[in-house]
């Protein structure tokens, strides 16, 4: 049991960066880009509407 748990622990800890960098790198990049775009839109849209309301 010790070897099994140690092996699974090493696999779960050691293979996560590899899995993220190899398989899910594109997916993570797309998700990060989408989240950053959503955050930017959430920040910019109220500012634009505020400026628009002041201008009008």
Q: How far apart are CA 50 and CA 56, in angstroms?
A: 10
The answer to the question of residue 5 being in a domain is no
Q: What is the CB-side half-sphere exposure of residue 20 using CA atoms within 13 A?
A: 9
pLDDT for 18? 61
- Any domain includes 49: yes
Q: Please give the pLDDT value at position 27.
A: 78
6 within a domain of the structure (yes/no) = no
Predicted confidence band of residue 4 (pLDDT cuts 50, 70, 90)? very low
Residue 54: inside a domain: yes
Structural domain count, the chain: 1
7-55 residue pLDDT tens: 444 444 555 566 555 556 677 788 888 888 888 888 888 888 998 998 8
Alpha-helical segments (H) within 1-56: 2-22, 25-55
Going by C-beta distance under 8 Å and a sequence separation of 6 or more, which residues neighbour residue 20? 28
Show the domain range for 44: 25-56
């Amino acid at each position: 049991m010790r070897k099994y748990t140690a092996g699974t622990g090493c696999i779960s800890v050691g293979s996560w960066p590899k899995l993220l960098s190899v398989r899910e790198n594109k997916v993570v990049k797309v998700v990060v880009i989408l989240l950053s775009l959503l955050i930017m839109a959430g920040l910019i849209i109220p500012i634009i509407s505020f400026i628009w309301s002041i201008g009008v």
